[in-house]
Amino acid sequence: MRFLKAMTAAAAALFMTVSVSKAQDIVDTAVAADGFETLVAAVQAAELVETLKGEGPFTVFAPTDEAFAALPEGTVENLLLPENRDQLVAVLTYHVVPGRVMSSDIAGQEVSPETVQGGTLMVDATGDAVMVDDATVVQADIEASNGVIHVIDTVLIPE
């Protein structure tokens, strides 16, 4: 897979150091891996834990802690405030596509899946790197019992 060439060493280490079993759901997989503390905190604040532990299947484009840190100062803290829960839910559910979409399912294609939030992502798997909107997939096909995670380097913001 050509996009794996573009994967950074840091992103690869996120999951190489964790023994991820397909028996773990999406939330437990993210908790077990290093580099997703902000995402897990946001999922908890948005009260989406039970949903993402549900039957699914889900495809989650999971931003790293570095991706959250790259947002303008104060953005994450603002989103985590209880009064901004609806906005946080919208941002997080924009990262989730119904179904289990593996990289091999879209290799060489441009696709526009609808997100759980209701928006549409632009996924380009035709080049050396897979792009999801403005984010690059840095680790793909991390299987969980209720779906798959693709690690991305940018937080996706719905329009």
pLDDT at position 72 is 96
Percent of the chain clearing pLDDT 90 (strictly above): 82
pLDDT in tens, 21-44: 457 999 999 999 989 999 999 999
Three-state DSSP class for 32?
A: helix
pLDDT in tens, 105-147: 999 999 999 999 999 999 999 999 999 999 999 999 999 999 9
- Identify which of 45, 53, 48 has the alpha carbon closest to the alpha carbon of residue 26: 53
pLDDT at position 129 is 92
pLDDT at position 159 is 84
pLDDT in tens, 138-157: 999 999 999 999 999 999 99
DSSP codes joined into one string, 77-145: HHHTSGGGHHHHHHHHHTTEEES---HHHHTT-EE-PBPTTS-B--EE-SSSS-EETTEEEEEEEEEET
Tell me: pLDDT of 13 over 50.
no
Tell me: pLDDT of 4 over 50.
no
pLDDT at position 21 is 46
Q: At what angle do helices 37-45 and 85-93 cross, to 10 degrees?
A: 130
Cβ neighbours for 159, distance < 8 A, ≥ 6 positions apart: 119
Q: How many CA atoms lie within 13 A of 104 on its CB side?
A: 2
Tell me: pLDDT of 69 over 90.
yes
**Confidence (pTM):** 0.86
User: Domain 2-152 belongs to what architecture?
Assistant: Roll (2.30)
